[in-house]
Structure 1
Amino acid sequence: MQSLPALAEVLANGAGTAVVQAPPGTGKTTMVPPLAANIVAAAGRRGKVIVTQPRRVAARSAARRLAALDGSAVGERVGYTVRGESRTGPGTLVEFVTPGILLRRLLADPGLESAAAVILDEVHERGLETDLLMGMLTEVRQLRDDLTLIAMSATLDAQRFAALIGGDGGDPAPVIGCPSALYPLEVSWQPAAAPRLDERGITRSFLDHVADTAARAHAEAVAADPQVDALVFVPGAREVAHVASRLRSRAGRGTEVLELHGSIGAAEQDRAVSGRRPGEQTRIIVSTSLAESSLTVPGVRLVVDSGLAREPRRDAARGMSGLVTVSCSRASAKQRAGRAARQGPGRVVRCYDDRAYGAAPAHQTPEIAVADLTAAALLLACWGAPGGAGLALPDAPPQAAMQEAVATLKTLGAVDGGGHATSMGKVLARVPADPRLARALLDGAGRAGARTAAETVAAVSGDLRAPGADLTRLLGTLRTGGVPGERRWAEDVRRLEQLARREGARLPAGGNEPVPAADAVGFTVALAFPERIARRVPGAGPERYLLASGTRAGLPAGSPLTGQEWIAVADVARAEGRDAAGTGAVIRAAAPLSRESAEAASGPLLEETLTAELRGGKVAARREYRLGAIVLSSTPVRPAAAEGRHAVAAALARQGLGILGFSAAADTLRRRLALLHRELGEPWPDVSDQALLARLEDWLAPELELLAGGAAVSGIDLNDPLRRLLPWPEASRLAELVPERLEVPSGSRVRIDYPEHGDGRPVVAVKLQECFGWAETPKLVQGRVPVLFHLLSPAGRPLAVTDDLASFWSGPYAHVRAEMRGRYPKHPWPEDPWSARATARTKARM
């Protein structure tokens, strides 16, 4: 890394923060940590250098690489800590950790007294936990000016990060740049004939194209250089398995195909990224974005890129969060390509065209902008910054998503009314799982068994694929061993079971009797996600379900769960096509449970309600027993008076006041009042739908009573109820301020049409001849609102629209007269309208 001396000088001169901007392959991950450790030691400060890596495999790989360069064993001078595994010792100077590990250390030790320096690597990836660390560590530095904080980025966002973490004296942190160390890179495009994605996700034909392209390109590369290994990027573990399987049947003899994703064990991950030893076969590594940055895979000189990634997305309308397949950003595509040119000239084959590349987003969407924020909200509450208030975060969390997350935490008892963590919240924050799953682990241990609860939470947290969406079957397969992810899952189970027993089972209000063994898995899932308890929709097919949240979702075709009356859904995502059963969402993982267990796990979603609807001109009331949106029973009732009024009011709020119907008199009165409220404000009442619904008892109470008692809507006239809102004594001036009719010069009293909702102008439609001689346009509401005249022909057709009669007589009238007097000769069209007699009659009758 050419810029190492510049960084050493900055840190040695006392700068407490710095940003290192260096492209992949420059050695920043292995060179900056020992430099920081040497500077810390030279300054006589105690404490280790902690380096975050966004992935466990990267933390382990970086620790092994740096230990090898140091000539020591892993766990001595250089170590690592990831979830479920730690290799450190009393002499460890540099420790690589994942962001989640460091976040929990900060909650336990807000001063981070064991560290002299923290290096945040790969901050450009904009992972949620790394963003949180940036804000929290900036606060720590305000208390500890001896803590060195370095952020390392592979992109050009360095100035932004420098401003965030700040330097001494309030200026931005120094930025140390480094030129690219990549070798020449050949880029080729080989798009598939079939589309990459359809309504069900990534297409099988495209995955086959990726595998075949990789096999062909690798064979060409090995023919020129037998030492070339290949790295193939696909979006998820399922796609890794498919492409790897096809490659094993198509790659040349002597080629080993390895898989790399987050669900396989640590040993398999480490083997995939550690490089070949002398004499071993050439390799093709099929990976998710896990290998996109943070580590160098030795031997890779060929990259085959699907151009797809899996990113978190939150669907607030359906109450769903999960991973979706999208086109990777251009920055990610460059990072992937760079894997091929770190150790020599390389080649990248993109299985899509340059137009798709150009249409891709420039950068990956920050996780904080699209992910479920429940876990983040709990960490922030425990840190003492509810909702992220006061923290210097790269992006503020979306307000709606944060409010939803805090509401969820309140239902878990994890935060109080002010958003601060409760004792329960602090317990949940210590569990390495989503807070909802953490609460399910503790609550489910007493009724489903600590072991089963831990197994269920570990499987759901591990994002393991449930065959046919059957979570129970997945657990059975994991227990027997020999499947991808089994070892990591077993380690998580042991740790979670210990946590559940140590913290103690916190039983739900329903009691502590054990649930049936067949319900244990579903009961645990339902405790975590009660809004995802689902019941089969009668008459809609055995694979369609209604969730308690109100979302409809379908089981994938052939699922063993098809036909189950009740299921608890652990994972549901938006989808189209056959798997979604026409519902717009597909269930990815679920477990069966009985109605009794569903009710026991549902908490406040289980309620008895009285509902009413205005149908056929009358109120129909029903008493319903509901689990969220799922109606368990519904019985027609005649409610008590108070209940009935409340139910009718709720029906009006749902269906709108229009179902009552406004008579002509009531509609006119409402329009007049709306104009008064617009022009004069209080005490004249707001008569909009929203305002009227908000104060039904003030003006409609007697009618609510009648409707609740069975009276027909047709017998209700809203004119008198609206008059109950008139303010006194101001009401005595109603006719003066907004009269119903206006007397015109002919003596006729013409109706005034008031605007709807108070918007616009009052209108008088009158024959032109009835207004001869009228010079001054009348104004209403104490002279504030001029009347708009629609001057009509003798046949009632509009001739002119004006709110300035004097100007009309002096100008446009002459043109109107010239056109109309021949058409209507029996009616007066005087040359001088000022002196003519106003009349509604013909000339003969005058």
Structure 2
Amino acid sequence: MIRTEALARLPVRSAVPALRDALEGHGSAVLCAPPGTGKTTLVPLELAALLESGTDADADAARPGRRVVVAEPRRIAARAAARRMAWLLGEKVGERVGYTVRGERVVGRHTRVEVVTTGVLLQRLQRDQELAGVDVVVLDECHERHLDADTVAAFLWDVRAALRPELRLVAASATTDAQGWARLLGGAPVIASEDASHPVEVVWTPPARPVRPPHGMRVDPALLTHVASVVRRALAEREGDVLCFLPGVGEIARVFGQLGDTAGVEVLQVHGRAPAAVQDAVLSPGARRRVVLATSVAESSLTVPGVRVVVDSGLAREPRVDHARGLSALTTVRASQAAGRQRAGRAGREAPGTVYRCWAEAEDARLPRFPAPEIKVADLTAFALQTACWGDPEASGLALLDPPPGGAMAAARAVLRSIEAVDSSGRATERGARMARLGLHPRLARALLDAAPAVGPARAAEVVALLSEEPPREYGDDLAAVWRTARRGGDAYAARWRAEARRLGAAAAPAASARIAEPTAGPGADVRTAHTPDARATSAPDSPVDDHHAVGLVAALAFPERVARAGGGSYLMVSGTRAELGDGTGLRGAPWLAVAVADRPVGAGHARVRLGARIDEETARRAAGTLYGEGEEVRWADGDVVARRVERLGAVELTVRPLRDADAGLVRDALLDGLREEGLGLLRWSRDAEVLRQRLGFLRHHLGAPWPEVSDDALHARVDEWLEPELSRARRRADLGRIDAGQALGRLLPWASGDAARIDELAPERIEVPSGSRIRIDYADPERPVLAVKLQEMFGLQESPAVAGVPVLVHLLSPAGRPAAVTADLASFWRDGYRGVRAELRGRYPKHPWPEDPATAEPTRHTNARLRR
């Protein structure tokens, strides 16, 4: 029997007529309904016409009606929504309301409303683009901006535009960019529902002492201790159940441990990995007061009855990827303002409530307004395969709120090409289409298909199932040991693992008839070549491939760029990233590893292996065959030319042999690298060579062309013009030191124009001063050359000397050779500055002439006694 009283209390009911009109008129609509209004449970029932009086399952089966598919971002939300709608109809799940999530399908022949995850709907669209038999699709919780949800919305809009204009689309959310979604759906009407929430008081409870900000997956334990204390405070100060938001499973477990056996309170842990029984218990009223520790899964879609208090840690987990290192994972971030509003709203779903926020009020305005769209920050390999299978490899024709970043798409397509999921034009291959249908990340799909012939489909499926959902930390970091633990485990993870392994085993069975090629050291090793099976390439249960080899091969095929070899106390991945093992690991001593999961701890220079498998070099070569290369390497290293023949897997050197007769061109390039790295000082620079370079620099600065630029960069750019043929004859560092830089530099003089002959005229190395001495000019500063000369030798000179029209800066020296004055205007100095110098120095140097009028005095390099003789 339909529960009419419960339905009547849902405020979204008033928006249903306008929603129906929008769907009839435009065909699509954006429904904005705050949490608790019934958008997830009442609207699908109304659109399927299941709430009309007098209808039941038997009567409904006898007449036509709309079939509605509701897409939820999470499995727990899909199950909860289906159960709630079935309860409202007074039925069991699987009658007129059912659900489908990965590995679980509960529907019947009378099902009219089916709740699915966005991932399931994505797979369904790839199999049947028309969605035959579906009349309305409701995309729930659009504001979360999950990548699958954005992709499904784009595909559905394509379907409606090209194949099924009668298909109705509803984008539903509590808080979202309504106008953006309306534009995306072709100007769809926006329907708003009234808010059913109650007032929520905000209590700011920052830690007493500063805590370290989150980094990677790490959260400061001091913050978690503070969150636990705030939960205890909330229990003491407020009535009702407490819902506490934490970023992940590990943080939930830590706070759970700190709360201990709180008197009279039941503490529950809710996350995507929680057992179904726990999830069901959370969504039902409790017999005693409860504290529910939850991830962001409880932000929306789920109503936890009895909650009057929310404790918000202020943290969330978002996907990130480092394309350069090939490491992708969730990372801890500050939750957005929108997430904070969603979380606080949980406290006001049924009655007035309170939210305790574990940060200062002043910090709130600095938080991001919305969470980052997953398409902007996540690994796009799976997305790129989906769009390639859809027929739009560039995703340029898809209706997306945010376009995918070009760099991330390029990296994704490179991965897809390496596993032959797409061809050179980016179109999906038959193999790629099969990968897409597996419901796995393409890397894992590749591992499943390519390992099944060697280790058997069942074992390949079991290992891939381990990699598709990271095992609990207490299982350890040795993937083979983790596999054994899961096989005998009785926890919720082991149960989910077994179900997923069964699903994947059935999908992998056809691949077991193919053969993995023999290990090869050559480039382009193909792990899928079909030939007569050998002793190790069989799917039989008694395959001689042992478990260690099987688990290592699967992991290496999934992450070939993370194949790593031991050396120097750590492991070097073929991608070039170094990784270290954790304390107490069971992987210590392995010569090779297939790294399945890695992260970078705070302040660490290297990545850390969190999950890996032992492999041998044969498996490494097999899995990472496309990264194999061999050839001559000639480079500048450790201060000299190093020439060798190298066989390598990416950054990992397999064999190295000295190269006796290296290619002259490669040697020359290495020497040039050395000159760039260590400077032109590697050449032999005599005093005359240095002076020539300075003179040329002066002429270039003041006269320009045809005088050459002689900076390091300019000389490197014109090395062919001035350093040949000496450079072509050099083979090592010592040979560079024998090259006369001055002689080589002379080749850059403007000989063709004839200006080279004027260098001594325009920038003479020395000039004659009034005493008859020839004094060297210092051109170290190209702006102003310097002439350092004894003061007495310049008597009688009225104007400062000039070179190339530029007055030199005269350093007038005392008889002891120390600067007495500096001037660029001798006439002014004789008139105004000389008297002071004369008064200071003539008593100190009485043997030298200090005439009253230096402008008319006789210049000399001698003393008074010498002058009298």
Tell me by how many angstroms 1:337 deviates: 1.8
Q: Secondary structure at the match of 2:398?
A: coil
Structure 1 equivalent of residue 7 of structure 2: none
Check if 1:32 corresponds to 2:49. Answer: no
1:85 to 104, 110, 114: 104
CA distance in 2, matches of 1:161, 1:675: 65
CA distance in 2, matches of 1:685, 1:815: 35
Q: Which amino acid in the other structure matches residue 30 of structure 2? A: V
Q: Which amino acid in the other structure matches residue 179 of structure 2? A: Q
The gaps in structure 1 that reach 5 residues or longer are 168-172, 756-760, 779-786, 802-808
Structure 2 equivalent of residue 262 of structure 1: 272
2:735 to 702, 712, 726: 712
Structure 2 equivalent of residue 781 of structure 1: none
2:348 to 334, 341, 347: 341
Q: Which amino acid in the other structure matches residue 461 of structure 1? A: S
Q: Which amino acid in the other structure matches residue 573 of structure 1? A: D
CA contact (8 A) 1:618 1:712 kept: no
Structure 1 equivalent of residue 25 of structure 2: 14
Structure 2 equivalent of residue 366 of structure 1: 373
1:534 to 547, 556, 564: 564
Structure 1 equivalent of residue 572 of structure 2: 546
Structure 1 equivalent of residue 616 of structure 2: 594
Check if 1:188 corresponds to 2:218. Answer: no
1:430/1:662 CA distance change after superposition, 3 Å = farther
CA distance in 1, matches of 2:73, 2:504: 22
Check if 1:560 corresponds to 2:586. Answer: yes
Q: Which amino acid in the other structure matches residue 32 of structure 1? A: V
Q: Residues 233-277 of structure 1, C-alpha deviation per residue, up to 9 Å, x if partnerless? A: 222122223333444x32224x43332212234x23541443137
CA distance in 1, matches of 2:802, 2:808: 15
1:519 to 549, 571, 585: 549
CA distance in 2, matches of 1:275, 1:797: 96
CA contact (8 A) 1:378 1:421 kept: yes
CA distance in 2, matches of 1:829, 1:138: 99
CA contact (8 A) 1:610 1:647 kept: no
CA contact (8 A) 2:698 2:779 kept: no
Structure 2 equivalent of residue 498 of structure 1: 506
Q: Which amino acid in the other structure matches residue 584 of structure 2? A: G
Q: Which amino acid in the other structure matches residue 142 of structure 1? A: A
CA distance in 1, matches of 2:131, 2:85: 23
Tell me by how many angstroms 1:458 deviates: 1.1
Check if 1:623 corresponds to 2:641. Answer: no
1:773/1:216 CA distance change after superposition, 3 Å = closer
CA distance in 1, matches of 2:77, 2:659: 64
CA distance in 1, matches of 2:757, 2:472: 71
Q: Secondary structure at the match of 1:712?
A: helix
Tell me by how many angstroms 1:375 deviates: 1.4
Q: Which amino acid in the other structure matches residue 601 of structure 2? A: A
Structure 2 equivalent of residue 320 of structure 1: 327
Q: Residues 22-66 of structure 1, C-alpha deviation per residue, up to 9 Å, x if partnerless? A: 221222112332344459x9xx99863322211011111112222
Q: Secondary structure at the match of 1:202?
A: coil
CA contact (8 A) 1:752 1:763 kept: no
Identity of matched residues, %: 40
CA distance in 2, matches of 1:489, 1:734: 84
Moved more, 664-673 or 98-107: 664-673
1:477/1:655 CA distance change after superposition, 3 Å = same
CA contact (8 A) 1:532 1:548 kept: yes
Tell me by how many angstroms 1:771 deviates: 12
Structure 1 equivalent of residue 8 of structure 2: none
Structure 2 equivalent of residue 475 of structure 1: 483
Tell me by how many angstroms 1:537 deviates: 3.3
1:701/1:764 CA distance change after superposition, 3 Å = closer
Tell me by how many angstroms 1:475 deviates: 1.6
CA distance in 1, matches of 2:429, 2:205: 55
CA contact (8 A) 2:671 2:733 kept: no
Structure 2 equivalent of residue 106 of structure 1: 125
Q: Residues 300-343 of structure 1, C-alpha deviation per residue, up to 9 Å, x if partnerless? A: 22322222222212234433211122222222122112112111
Q: Secondary structure at the match of 1:495?
A: helix
Structure 2 equivalent of residue 132 of structure 1: 151
Check if 1:571 corresponds to 2:590. Answer: no
User: What pairs up with 1:753-832 in 2 under 5 angstroms?
Assistant: 791-794=809-812, 819-822=832-835
CA contact (8 A) 1:273 1:296 kept: no
Please tell me whether Structure 1 or Structure 2 has the larger radius of gyration of its CA atoms.
2
Q: Secondary structure at the match of 1:361?
A: coil
CA distance in 1, matches of 2:550, 2:628: 20
CA contact (8 A) 1:648 1:708 kept: no
1:743/1:585 CA distance change after superposition, 3 Å = closer
Q: Residues 644-674 of structure 1, C-alpha deviation per residue, up to 9 Å, x if partnerless? A: 5387369559947657548585997899799
Tell me by how many angstroms 1:428 deviates: 1.8
TM-score scaled by structure 2?
0.78
Tell me by how many angstroms 1:575 deviates: 0.6
CA contact (8 A) 1:741 1:752 kept: no
Structure 2 equivalent of residue 409 of structure 1: 416
1:716/1:573 CA distance change after superposition, 3 Å = same
CA contact (8 A) 2:683 2:738 kept: no
CA RMSD of aligned residues (A): 4.7
Structure 2 equivalent of residue 332 of structure 1: 339
Structure 2 equivalent of residue 165 of structure 1: 185
Structure 2 equivalent of residue 170 of structure 1: none
Q: Which amino acid in the other structure matches residue 621 of structure 1? A: A
Tell me by how many angstroms 1:620 deviates: 3.1
Check if 1:62 corresponds to 2:92. Answer: no
1:32/1:735 CA distance change after superposition, 3 Å = farther
1:593/1:390 CA distance change after superposition, 3 Å = same
1:555/1:841 CA distance change after superposition, 3 Å = same
1:145 to 159, 165, 173: 165
1:671/1:273 CA distance change after superposition, 3 Å = farther
1:687/1:764 CA distance change after superposition, 3 Å = closer
Tell me by how many angstroms 1:88 deviates: 3.1
Structure 2 equivalent of residue 488 of structure 1: 496
Check if 1:234 corresponds to 2:246. Answer: yes
User: What pairs up with 1:434-445 in 2 under 5 angstroms?
Assistant: 434-445=441-452
Tell me by how many angstroms 1:716 deviates: 3.6
Q: Secondary structure at the match of 2:267?
A: strand
Q: Secondary structure at the match of 1:176?
A: strand
CA distance in 1, matches of 2:346, 2:36: 8
1:296/1:817 CA distance change after superposition, 3 Å = farther
Q: Which amino acid in the other structure matches residue 245 of structure 2? A: F
Q: Residues 609-649 of structure 1, C-alpha deviation per residue, up to 9 Å, x if partnerless? A: 43344468752323333333333443333234358538736
Structure 2 equivalent of residue 425 of structure 1: 432
1:718/1:100 CA distance change after superposition, 3 Å = farther
Q: Which amino acid in the other structure matches residue 559 of structure 1? A: T
Q: Which amino acid in the other structure matches residue 250 of structure 2? A: R
CA distance in 2, matches of 1:106, 1:800: 85
CA distance in 2, matches of 1:450, 1:798: 91
Q: Secondary structure at the match of 1:115?
A: coil
1:207 to 205, 209, 224: 224
Q: Which amino acid in the other structure matches residue 193 of structure 2? A: C
Aligned length, in residue pairs:
788
TM-score scaled by structure 1?
0.80
CA contact (8 A) 2:682 2:733 kept: no
Q: Secondary structure at the match of 2:88?
A: helix
CA contact (8 A) 1:670 1:722 kept: no
CA contact (8 A) 1:135 1:393 kept: yes
Tell me by how many angstroms 1:482 deviates: 1.0
